[in-house]
Amino acid sequence: MSSKNRKVRNIGFLWHLEEALPESRSKNKGTIRAALPRDRGLLRKIIVEAYLPEWSWWVRKIGGKEKARDDLMSYVSEFLRDRKKRIFVAEEGGKIIGFSGAAKYNRGTGTIGYGVAVLPGFGKRGIGSILLLAALDWLKKSGVRFVTLEEETFGFANQDTPAMVLYKNLGGKVISDQPVTK
Ligand SMILES: CC(C)(COP(=O)(O)OP(=O)(O)OC[C@H]1O[C@@H](n2cnc3c(N)ncnc32)[C@H](O)[C@@H]1OP(=O)(O)O)[C@@H](O)C(=O)NCCC(=O)NCCS
């Protein structure tokens, strides 16, 4: 998907974790685990590729793939260091194929850190859904009640992105929706 000549909207989401989380329909559960600091290298290899092609407009805006890699890895590294934050990874054949992040803040609030990403070629198999549920479940078990996105996601003017479909399917409510100012 390319955003060329298409208007981009910023979209904020909220999850109210007092409501029951939906059951995962995927049978891939065994492949999800919490990431360890030693996974940093593997995550670095795939991180930009997992956000592409949807985020190609952002990769261009930030100045190319290597700048995007550094930016995304500074966030991942912080999540790997901090006990109140966690990255979940999906593995297949010894390779990390997707990840999600979660962070606990004060007074029962938390965030989904930079959302969820799955490598192209592994999509539409329920992996994104299990990764998001793992993050929401960890937050819920830690006493978190309200979850937003660490950074807003985006949609195109007349089209929801796969991430928006995923968030809506898993109980997320749109709380803001505004055009991106250039
Ligand atoms: C969003 C993303 C994580 C979904 O991963 P996934 O493993 O394909 O997710 P699932 O298989 O669990 O599918 C979840 C829902 O999204 C939908 N979806 C997945 N890919 C889609 C696509 N290319 N177009 C439209 N819908 C799509 C699925 O159909 C499913 O909805 P359904 O149950 O109603 O059919 C993946 O597309 C991705 O990595 N995107 C780029 C990164 C990104 O934008 N992350 C969010 C940052 S805020």
For every one of its 182 residues, what pLDDT tens digit does the chain have, with 9 covering 90 and above? Answer: 444 446 889 999 999 998 888 877 666 555 899 999 999 999 999 999 999 888 898 999 999 999 999 999 999 999 999 999 999 999 998 899 999 999 999 889 999 988 899 999 999 999 999 999 999 999 999 999 999 998 888 888 778 899 999 999 999 999 999 988 65
Which residue's alpha carbon is nearest to atom 16 within ligand 1? 166
Indicate the top mutation candidate among 9, 55, 132, 166 to test ligand 1's pocket, ranked by most ligand atoms within 8 A of CB.
166
pLDDT at 36: 94
pLDDT at 5: 47
Which residue's alpha carbon is nearest to atom 39 within ligand 1? 117
Q: How far apart are CA 156 and CA 118, in angstroms?
A: 20
pLDDT at 176: 94
Q: What is the dihedral of CA 1, 11, 163, 65, to 10 degrees?
A: 50
Burial of 109 (0-12, 13-18, 19+ CB in 10 A): middle
Indicate the top mutation candidate among 116, 167, 170, 180 to test ligand 1's pocket, ranked by most ligand atoms within 8 A of CB.
116
pLDDT at 2: 45
Which residue's alpha carbon is nearest to atom 44 within ligand 1? 163
CATH level 3 topology of 8-20+28-179: Aminopeptidase (3.40.630)
Helix, strand, coil percentages for the chain (3-state, nearest 5): 35, 30, 35
Name the DSSP class of 145.
-
